[in-house]
Amino acid sequence: MVDPEILFGVSGSVPSCGFSVLPTPLHLLPVLTDLYGTRLWCKRDDMTGFAFGGNKSRKLDYLIRDAMERGCDSIVTFGSVQSNWCRIASAAAAVKGLDAYLILSGSEPVVPGGNLLLDRLVGASVEFTESEKESEILDLCSRQIEKLRNDGGNPYFMAVGGSDNIGSTGYIKAMGEIISYGNERGVDFSRIFVASGSAGTQAGLVAGKLISGWQGDITGVSVARQAVEQREKVSAIAAALLRFHNYEFAREEVEKAVIVDDNYLGAGYRVNTPECEEAVTRFARSEGVFLDYVYTGKAAAALLDYSARGAFAREEDTLFIHTGGAIQLFE
Ligand SMILES: Cc1ncc(COP(=O)(O)O)c(C=O)c1O
């Protein structure tokens, strides 16, 4: 039996604000299990209990604490106008008395809805840019940081999605929760399906797998780029994360643990697909679980397609991680 304690030790070595209410619930998806004839489970990281929940709150537990320990008085970060990341980051900053400066790509809507409404509710300062180019957006972040410094402030920059060593540590802990649940209930999860974007969520899970020796597969369903590029991104973050926690793994070993499927990406990031639409509808009507059309809907499309194609045995236990994002439905 794999021991999850090592993962709680590793994640516990990084100070946390503890915003997230953990462990998140994990349950069988009974209707989908009956429908597809294979056991499908869901870990409810949409229910992390902070700022409407989602995978980013696990990362911000650590990142905001890091900002505070460095004596910072504000955060600067970026995302799309409907960024889940920016919503939770600005709420976490507000709770700890830090100002939040967001650079959002996309045009300013006449009536703000969804995540943008919540960014404003928690008092974030928002700047819009029509640019989607990361280099240009990073330039805008640098300018904001310089301005704050010139005014005597001490800003903390956060990489998009919080996918760095500090933030991704949150998913080492999540891997511990999954192993712990399996051990306590006698459930042997053989696969995990999760949406993979800025890559820190999958990288944290992969690091957790390697550190603990858990034998299952972790499939990241790419929501933003081709598999080769996404695999490289996840591997790089996982390798750095392992080093950060003083674990030495050969690059090939890390790469072997990184499985990425881009068959559900469609035309690209934030572009819906019929399979995603169908998966969101099916989860809502079968299980009363609301997904979104950017991240979890695409990951669920993969899960349901693999299930329909008989990729999982009847007695297999497959875990879908619901990483949040349903606020997008109110965009
Ligand atoms: C709801 C949701 N799920 C999944 C992801 C992807 O997580 P990561 O960026 O860590 O790959 C995101 C990222 O923004 C998200 O908002």
Domain extents in the chain: 5-54+164-330, 55-162
pLDDT(13) > 90:
yes
Percent of the chain with pLDDT over 90: 98
First vs last Cα of the chain: how many Å apart?
44
Look at ligand 1, atom 1, and give the residue with the nearest C-alpha: 325
Q: Is the CB of 193 under 6 A from ligand 1?
A: no
d(CA 179, CA 305): 25
Q: Clarify whether 105 is annotated catalytic.
A: no
User: 309 falls in which pLDDT band (50, 70, 90)?
Assistant: very high
Burial class (CB in 10 A: 0-12, 13-18, 19+), 328: buried
Query: Quick one: pLDDT at residue 311?
Result: 98
Which amino acid is present at 174?
A: A
Helices (H), the chain: 5-12, 30-36, 55-69, 84-95, 114-121, 134-150, 165-185, 200-212, 227-244, 251-256, 274-287, 296-308
| 3-state SS, residue 122 | coil
pTM above threshold 0.95: yes
35 CB contacts (<8 Å, ≥6 apart)? 286
Average pLDDT over all residues of the chain? 97
Query: Quick one: pLDDT at residue 324?
Result: 98
Question: 100 forms bridges with which residues in the sheet?
Answer: 75
For domain 55-162, give its CATH number from 3.30.390.50, 3.40.50.1100, 1.10.530.10, 3.30.930.10: 3.40.50.1100
pLDDT(172) > 90:
yes
pLDDT(331) > 90:
no
Q: Is the CB of 54 under 6 A from ligand 1?
A: yes
In the predicted model, what is the mean pLDDT of residues 205-210?
98
In the predicted model, what is the mean pLDDT of residues 295-324?
98
Query: Quick one: pLDDT at residue 249?
Result: 97
DSSP letter string, 182-217:
HHHHT--EEEEEEEESSSHHHHHHHHHHHHHT--SE
Q: What is the pLDDT of residues 39-73, one digit of tens each?
A: 999 999 999 999 999 999 999 999 999 999 999 99
Sign of CA dihedral 299, 305, 311, 312: positive
Q: Do 5-54+164-330 and 55-162 fold alike per CATH?
A: yes
Burial class (CB in 10 A: 0-12, 13-18, 19+), 86: buried
Nearest to 173 by CA among 299, 307, 328, 22: 22
Question: 40 forms bridges with which residues in the sheet?
Answer: 318
Query: Quick one: pLDDT at residue 75?
Result: 98
Q: What is the pLDDT of residues 83-118, one digit of tens each?
A: 999 999 999 999 999 999 999 999 999 998 999 999
Point out the catalytic residue in the list 16, 20, 57, 83: 83
Question: 133 forms bridges with which residues in the sheet?
Answer: none
- The fold of 5-54+164-330 is Rossmann fold (3.40.50)
d(CA 261, CA 206): 15
Are the C-beta atoms of 234 and 206 separated by less than 8 Å?
yes
Q: Which atom of ligand 1 is nearest to the CA of 171?
A: 10
Is omega for the bond preceding 23 within 30 degrees of 0, making it cis?
A: yes
Look at ligand 1, atom 16, and give the residue with the nearest C-alpha: 84
Nearest to 320 by CA among 328, 312, 302, 309: 302
d(CA 171, CA 238): 11
Q: Is the CB of 195 under 6 A from ligand 1?
A: yes
